[in-house]
Amino acid sequence: MKMRQNFKISYSRISTYLFCPNKYKLVYLDNVYIPLSVDIVFGHIIHKTLERFHSLEKSSYDLLLECYDDSWRSDGFVNPQQVFEYYQRGKQMLENYYRSFKESNSEVLYVEKSFDANIGKYRFVGIIDRIDRYPDGTYEIIDYKTHVNVWGPEKIDKDLQLSFYAYACRSVFGFNPDKMSIYFLSENKKVYTTKSQGEISDAIDIAVSTSENIVAENFDPDVSKCHICDLKFKCRFCIA
């Protein structure tokens, strides 16, 4: 019962559980360490840079680069050449980002905005990368991605994360997002999607059923994913 009272779910916990229930147990209950990949470190750097930049009262490209340098960390990179290549990639990304930002007529309302919502008897927590407000009073939720591949519309339309964010906006912040986008920073391309009430309800049902399974300690391994699992060398059920 204690676990139930304290239990909080999040998008990353749900996606880990849906990938493999045993992976959830290893990561969140047994605290098995997953080494950070270079791409994850780079993603953290860019997110931190944009959080710092949008917290400033002024904006200029030089200030954005200062935020980049202040956010940079070299741990996780394998050699100086890789550090150089990723640094240059990030700089190009931010140059494109700044140009688009200056052309946009929206106001950045929130960056890295945390929420704590109720889903049934559980808590759902998360952080939304950015919420903008337009002059006509409409709102947009923006989720940044830093990997090189731009997802297709089908994958974006099925994305659970944006459905959760839409739910959080309505239930915690008190407004319905009029637009939702994934911003692929490597290509400086925003891809928009919409979420119907039915899609948001379906996503919340998934969150509740995943929470129920976790609280009931249903952690059966899904060995169909072992070949792409980053815990394959630390898992006794692995068949890959």
Nearer to ligand SF4, 12 or 197 (CB): 12
Of 31, 34, 28, the residue nearest 3 (C-alpha): 28
Of 49, 51, 54, the residue nearest 68 (C-alpha): 49
Of 141, 66, 68, the residue nearest 110 (C-alpha): 141
Q: Among 50-58, 136-144, 149-157, 227-235, which window interacts with ligand SF4 (CB under 6 A)? A: 227-235
Q: How far is CA 146 from CA 27, 188, 211, in A?
A: 23, 10, 29
Site for ligand SF4 in 167-226 (CB under 6 A): 221-223, 225-226
> What amino acid occupies position 146?
T
Decide: is 117 part of the binding site for ligand SF4 (CB under 6 A): no
Which residues are bridge partners to 47 per DSSP? none
Instruction: Give min distance, CB of 77 to ligand SF4, in A.
Output: 26
> What amino acid occupies position 6?
N
Site for ligand SF4 in 10-49 (CB under 6 A): 20, 22-23, 26
Q: Among 107-115, 124-132, 134-142, 229-237, which window interacts with ligand SF4 (CB under 6 A)? A: 229-237
Decide: is 125 part of the binding site for ligand SF4 (CB under 6 A): no
Residues interacting with ligand SF4, by CB under 6 A? 20, 22-23, 26, 221-223, 225-226, 229, 231-232, 235, 237-238
